[in-house]
Chain A
Amino acid sequence: KQEVTQIPAALSVPEGENLVLNCSFTDSAIYNLQWFRQDPGKGLTSLLLIQSSQREQTSGRLNASLDKSSGRSTLYIAASQPGDSATYLCAVYNNAGNMLTFGGGTRLMVKP
């Protein structure tokens, strides 16, 4: 059974810092990995999707990397802003089945 872990559970940084969020998964037979953002009381917003054959994806100040063999992904946020404050979740699609397994999320606070 796939298990997805995100560390740390919470992170507080001053505005302008570059930061890295971590995601690890136990079963490396994945189809893709997805990163989401969730604001309080809202649904999830898709940020980046990395196919299993890819090493990284970039969107603006966000860069996600994937190391399938070690079961790890990182989300790099450059020049963080208070508007980046949210919970960030990663999720993996296994090769078998049609289920996306989520991590517990990292709650990010960027202080002005």
Chain B
Amino acid sequence: ETGVTQTPRHLVMGMTNKKSLKCEQHLGHNAMYWYKQSAKKPLELMFVYSLEERVENNSVPSRFSPECPNSSHLFLHLHTLQPEDSALYLCASSRYRGALHFGNGTRLTVT
């Protein structure tokens, strides 16, 4: 058990669907992250919530929308995705600028 739990593990959705990915940590961390991992590409940071501030990668399309209701929970809301959005989506948490702890990811397939 990694301490960071992501659900669901696998998700298949059509381009017109709306779905959400969930992440939960009970490590007492105060920063949470969403990363996208595509085949043969480096990990791409999508969003960071740290010390109640949100930082986002400006290249992330608006069809991805994060939500962080408290320091233990993080969501990624998905709508009208494209097939190229198929990837492994990883959540992580840390103390401020500390070692990152990752969940096992959600494998997303957009059909």
Q: Point out residues on A near B: beta carbons under 8 Å.
A: 4, 31-32, 34, 36, 41-46, 49, 89, 91, 93, 97-105
Contact = CB atoms under 8 A, between A and B. Distances in A.
Given A43-B103, A44-B90, A44-B102, A89 B43 contact: yes
Question: Interface residues of A: mostly helix, strand, loop or mixed?
Answer: strand
Interface of B: 2, 4, 6, 31, 33, 41-43, 45, 48, 50, 53, 55, 90, 92, 96-105, 107
Nearest to A95: B97
14 contacts: A31-B97, A41-B104, A41-B107, A42-B104, A43-B105, A44-B92, A44-B100, A45-B102, A46-B99, A98-B48, A98-B53, A100-B100, A102-B42, A104-B41
Contacts of B97: 31-32, 93, 98
